[in-house]
Amino acid sequence: MKESKFTIKEISDLFDNTRGAIRFYEEKGLVNPKRDGNGFRYYDKDDLFQLFYLRRYTCMSLTFQDINEYFLRESTSSIDDILSKLEDTKRNIEKEISLLIQKKEQLEHYTKTLSQCNLSQIQFIECPEYISFQSDDFDEIFHDNLDQLKKLIQAMPYSKVNCNIIENDEDFIFKTCISIESSMAIQKGIVLHPKAILFPAAYAVTKVVRVNAEHYHNELIQHIKELKQRCLDLGYTPFPYLCSSLILVHNENGIPVEYYRIYIPVKKIS
């Protein structure tokens, strides 16, 4: 490496920047390359130190606009202005951290769920109260209020696509819907529309089942019937409604398969 003289390749490698980024800094007057006796552009130690300062600011998630407004010689911002900007940036980072933690938790939950795909175990869990917006009613619920639908979408992963299944005397009725826990709906400003369905908190039996994707409807019903009978054998009365959620679409040896988690609310037979 030449003493106090760096090519654009050397500078970009040192700071893990693209040449385009270095050129951008040059266009903005933040670095000032010189030319040697052969007319080749090079960067000196002053440019090196300037890039150190820029790296310090960008490592704190400050944008070039921030740097230009608050940290260059031409800046007229006061110390209080700079402190206020740093506090805003810190709050934004805290939000990002919170979001990353949520993503990690959801990833851990999904990993745990997938690990149950090859098991035949059932579990008893407490299901919180939740609101369900069924697809049949979407036009009436959201036609004049897409803002509520947007809030519901933005609430993911707390809002989830699932299928409400109602059992009558002759058949099982499947209703695709988007659901969210009532407490989270309040936090997200999602209004309970008269057409929405409010499901009370309940004790439920749950199980992950595998079905052939081409015959999923009939196979899923068969799994539901078997699970309901298992509940009866254990001394529980199943409610006439239940929920299923698709957790994985997969292909096994050329056969399209789907994995669902079934939730059946139950009560103990007295």
How confident is the model over 58-75, as pLDDT tens digits? Answer: 889 998 888 888 888 778
CATH number of 120-268: 3.20.80.10
Separation CA 33–CA 19 (nearest Å)? 13
pLDDT of residue 219: 92
pLDDT of residue 150: 93
* Closest-CA residue to 171 (of 228, 261, 240): 240
* Closest-CA residue to 245 (of 144, 129, 149, 113): 113
* Amino acid present at 84: S
pTM of the model: 0.69
Pairing of strands 197-199, 159-167: unpaired
Burial 74-92 (b: 16+ CB within 10 A, else e): eeeeeeeeeeebeeeeeee
pLDDT of residue 53: 87
CATH 3.20.80.10 segments of the chain: 120-268
* Closest-CA residue to 87 (of 62, 55, 56): 62
pLDDT tens string 183-192: 999 999 998 8
**Range from 71-75, 171-175, 217-221 carrying the lowest mean pLDDT:** 71-75
Q: Phi and psi for 163 in degrees, rounded to 5?
A: -130, 120
Contact 204, 263 (CB under 8 A): yes
CATH 1.10.1660.10 segments of the chain: 8-59
Separation CA 207–CA 238 (nearest Å)? 14
Pairing of strands 34-35, 41-42: antiparallel
Percent of the chain with pLDDT over 70: 98
pLDDT of residue 221: 92
Q: What does DSSP assign to residue 200?
A: P
pLDDT tens string 83-121: 999 999 999 999 999 989 988 998 998 888 888 877 778
Residue with tokens 């499947």: 174
Residue 211 CB partners (closer than 8 Å, separation 6+)? 219, 220, 223, 257, 258, 259, 260
Strand partners, 236: 268
Contact 206, 231 (CB under 8 A): no
* Closest-CA residue to 223 (of 240, 210, 237): 210
Contact 260, 249 (CB under 8 A): no
Pairing of strands 123-127, 130-134: unpaired
Q: What does DSSP assign to residue 195?
A: T
Is residue 3 very low, low, confident or very high in pLDDT (cuts 50, 70, 90)?
A: low
Percent of the chain with pLDDT over 90: 41
**Average model confidence (pLDDT) across the chain:** 88
Is domain 8-59 annotated with CATH 3.40.228.10? no
The Cα-based distances of 80 to 83, 86, 89, 257 in angstroms read: 5, 10, 14, 60
Q: For the chain, count helices (H), then strands (E).
A: 9, 11
